[in-house]
A and B are shown apart, each in its own frame.
Chain A
Amino acid sequence: MITQLSGHTLLVFVGIPALVIAVVALLVFASSIADGPRYRPGLSWWAPPVWINGPETTKPDPANLPELPAGPSTTATAGTGVARTTGGASASW
């Protein structure tokens, strides 16, 4: 019986199902491939820093930022260009 498995038989019973599976898989993953990598909480972050409406619209290197003067974490000393008493909120997820 095995000798009767012709190329046509393989095409019908292997080739076509494989093609259908490939098309369905492509349709499923097409949107995520087009969107690129997506943020997934808990996994590592891959992208460089983005600062929207920052100073001169630059993307600073965190290592080159100036040191804050010593003081409580919620306040900064008064001075030109330095925020005095600050407020806000924090959250984590």
Chain B
Amino acid sequence: MPAGDAFTPEQLYDIERAVRHAEEASGLKFSVYVGGADSETRPFALELLNELPDPDHTVLVYVDPAGRRLEIVTGSAARRQLSDTSAGLAALAMQTSFATGDLTGGLVTGVQQLGQHAHQPTLLHANEPHQQ
């Protein structure tokens, strides 16, 4: 790993794979930011969310390792699929791993959990005409 990088290439791959799976399962966009904030974490996470191409359908996971803060921000449309309660459960799972120093494991577990909670089962025969 190059000196100073937060994750090894293998760890980055694991996180990106979890993000990809969560997006496939939910149909939402997922984004993960790990770094310090120069202000309060929640407004900073909102700024990050609004930087993304489709913030309404995005779930942003923001981790501040130095400040030991974690924010999950859901856009307006994403919030309909992923309730605040579900986000809180994922935050709890991540918090447990982060407290032991396992950033990668926490992110992978948390993103997977968010994707599962946001998963919407496909409606079978929804577009077919009703038959008596």
Contacts and interface: CB of A to CB of B under 8 A. Distances in A.
Contacts of A41: 65, 68, 98-101
Contact of A53 (B30, B36, B41, B75): B30
A48 B31 contact: no
Interface in A34-54: 35-42, 44-54
A90 B72 CA distance: 6
Given A55-B52, A65-B47, A93 B98 contact: yes
A49 B55 CA distance: 20
Nearest to B89: A89
Contact of B91 (A47, A62, A68, A91): A91
B33 A35 contact: no
Interface size class of A (residues with CB under 8 A): 35 or more
Interface stretch (A1-9, A12-20, A22-30, A79-87): A79-87
Interface residues of B, number: 69
A52 B35 contact: no
Chain B residues touching A, majority SS: mixed
B25 interface: no
A85 B74 CA distance: 9
A93 B69 CA distance: 7
B38 interface: yes
Interface string B98-126: 11110100000000000000000000000
Given A36-B5, A41-B101, A83-B49, 6 more contacts: A50-B33, A51-B32, A52-B32, A55-B51, A91-B91, A92-B95
Interface of A: 35-42, 44-55, 60, 62-63, 65-68, 73-74, 76, 81-93
